[in-house]
Amino acid sequence: MPNQKLILDGSRVAQEIKNNLLERVKRLTEKGVTPCLATILVGDDPASATYVRMKGNACNRLGIDSRRISLDKDTSTEELISVTQQLNEDPGVHGILLQHPVPSQIDERAAFESIRKDKDVDGVTMLGFAQNAFGLASYPSCTPAAIIAILDYYQIPIEGKHAIVVGRSPILGKPVSLMLLNRNATVTICHSKTVNLDKIVNSGDIVVAAVGKPKFIQGNWIREGAVVLDAGYNAGNVGDVDYEACLEKAGAITPVPAGVGPVTIAMLLKHTVDSAKAGNNLNLM
Amino acid sequence: MPNQKLILDGSRVAQEIKNNLLERVKRLTEKGVTPCLATILVGDDPASATYVRMKGNACNRLGIDSRRISLDKDTSTEELISVTQQLNEDPGVHGILLQHPVPSQIDERAAFESIRKDKDVDGVTMLGFAQNAFGLASYPSCTPAAIIAILDYYQIPIEGKHAIVVGRSPILGKPVSLMLLNRNATVTICHSKTVNLDKIVNSGDIVVAAVGKPKFIQGNWIREGAVVLDAGYNAGNVGDVDYEACLEKAGAITPVPAGVGPVTIAMLLKHTVDSAKAGNNLNLM
């Protein structure tokens, strides 16, 4: 299909995942287990509040319980950890999501680590990261998992392709690099200190933008026919990719919104349902 | 220094690390704490037996105790784990090294995971891997740490350089990639499914060979002036790099033997001494 642009419709991928979950939630609920996701929001950042609300609403539409915990912006690390520990012990809660980022007085790493492994449906703990790196994770980080799910849905080959990941955060750039590597891509990880970023991006068959800067990836960086996945979501509904310019060059591209975002939420729901099922079959942890 | 070849002498780097350790071991021993490394060898692979003997001898030369445990080649995972658990509980043991690879009936990952974090001086556990990935590790994997130590000893800049790592094992390719990334290199991870490996290696300012195949990296793959680090060690004292051919092109290169190998052992000794010190200051878990 030369010159045909493929728009990678995340809403469609998410819908398929959620259709499948609807059945699974129904069966679990009939057995007396209603999957439940607890979300923790610290502070009053409006974007974070929106994300948490979207996740809660998505749960409700599938019959998944959501428990929303809002903590004051002055919450200490210890206070936050005492909340996660209560949720760890609560048998009615199957997944815990701590909305990133937290206010600066909180040790985010310590807070993430306090989430019990079998409830870490967002894949933020160090053990979850390592399991993911070794291809052994129950619940890989949701955005990386969404990126892989989109590639798979559209049957875009990964093996032997050169993937360029721009960004190296612990919950996005690093895990998605390792997931692409485990799927036999050759992976280059770029960041703010990368020299000749334009040339390196231009060597990619697959480009993942995970940098957190609006319209950062330029159209003339993209190799003709490359696959572009935009994991960014910035103020004004803008991704990390200059969409119109990259669309000219790319063979396939995710839009923003309705690209990686909805699939990320669908993965979070899937992991919560997986955890509800696992917790009632096996006594994990 | 155009056209001057720099031979990266691992023996010299190792000697400096060990000279520093000699003093530290003396001071610890005077305080009644003799650092002790326990090595576990399963089976009778001659190369593995040689490595373990070399590590034990290196300990002894510095006044570090070494406890050598040899297990039958038919040892089960459970039997091996019961040995590591005894060593975990033994306050006289500060570091545990399980020689890789183990016979195929053993679940190596489970055996690695049974090593208590504060005694994981070889950096093989998943938690150690993740801490390393996030730049938080007490004891990074020894060969990756050796590669960084050689670059630092010779004051070879890492930041902003393009590093090509050939190999993706959990104890070498993956952790060294993440360590180079954390030092602000742009990192490309290659492997057996990589297409156009020669061209990709040729784009590297720094090339790390961690593939386990004798003389695999060819001279004409290397960019003029690149830094070549050979983490391979194959039968017949041969690395993963075609040394003579790569020497022609490289600006700096590690030989085999006397390259990465001796520094790897020195890092293991350093981590054991660090652990002996930490275990007697803090009650680490």
Confirm whether residue B251 is marked as ligand binding.
no
Number of separate helices (H) and strands (E) present in chain A: 10, 9
Judged by CB atoms closer than 8 Å, whether chains meet at A195 and B178 is answered as no
What is the Cα–Cα distance from B237 to B257, expressed in whole angstroms?
6
Average pLDDT for residues A112-121, to the nearest whole number? 97
- Residues whose CB falls within 8 Å of the CB of residue B8, separated by 6 or more in sequence, listed in order: B150, B154, B227, B229, B252, B253, B254, B255, B259
pLDDT of residue A5: 85
Contact criterion met (CB below 8 Å) for A204 and A188: yes
A188 chain-B contacts, CB cut-off 8 A = 186-189
B189 touching chain A per CB within 8 A: yes
Confirm whether residue B168 is marked as ligand binding.
yes
- Which ipTM was obtained for this model? 0.95
Residue B224 CB: number of other CB atoms within 10 A?
10
Out of B160, B168, B181, name the one closest to residue A181 (CB): B168
B170 touching chain A per CB within 8 A: yes
Instruction: Name the band, by pLDDT with cuts 50, 70 and 90, for residue A253.
Output: very high
- Comparing CA positions, the residue from B141, B127, B139, B180 lying closest to residue A109 is B127
Question: Per residue in B67-85, pLDDT tens?
Answer: 999 999 999 999 999 999 9
Active site residues per annotation of A: 55, 99, 122
To probe the interface with B, which of A117, A126, A199, A201 has the most B CB atoms within 10 Å? A126
Backbone angles phi, psi at A244, to 5 degrees: -60, -40
Minimum CA–CA partner of B164 in chain A: A188
The ranges assigned to domains in chain B are 32-116, 142-261
CATH number of A32-117: 3.40.630.30, 3.40.50.10860, 3.30.70.20, 3.30.70.100?
3.40.50.10860
Contact criterion met (CB below 8 Å) for B252 and B156: yes
Measure Cα distances from A132 to A97, A272, B126, B130 in Å.
Answer: 18, 17, 10, 10
Judged by CB atoms closer than 8 Å, whether chains meet at A200 and B162 is answered as yes
- CATH topology match: B32-116 vs B142-261: yes
Sheet of strand B252-253, all strands in order from the earlier edge strand to the far edge: A6-7, A252-253, A227-230, A206-209, A162-166, A186-190, B186-190, B162-166, B206-209, B227-230, B252-253, B6-7
CATH topology of domain B32-116: Rossmann fold (3.40.50)
What is the Cα–Cα distance from A215 to A225, expressed in whole angstroms?
19
Q: Which amino acid is at A204?
A: G
A195 chain-B contacts, CB cut-off 8 A = 160-162, 186
Question: Per residue in A164-220, pLDDT tens?
Answer: 999 999 999 999 999 999 999 999 999 999 999 999 999 999 999 999 999 999 999
CATH of domain B142-261: 3.40.50.720
Average pLDDT for residues A242-261, to the nearest whole number? 97
pLDDT of residue A281: 55
What is the Cα–Cα distance from A143 to B268, expressed in whole angstroms?
36
Sign of CA dihedral A262, A268, A272, A273: positive
- Residues whose CB falls within 8 Å of the CB of residue A175, separated by 6 or more in sequence, listed in order: A123, A129, A132, A133, A140, A141, A144
Please state, for a pLDDT cut of 70, what percent of chain A lies above it: 97
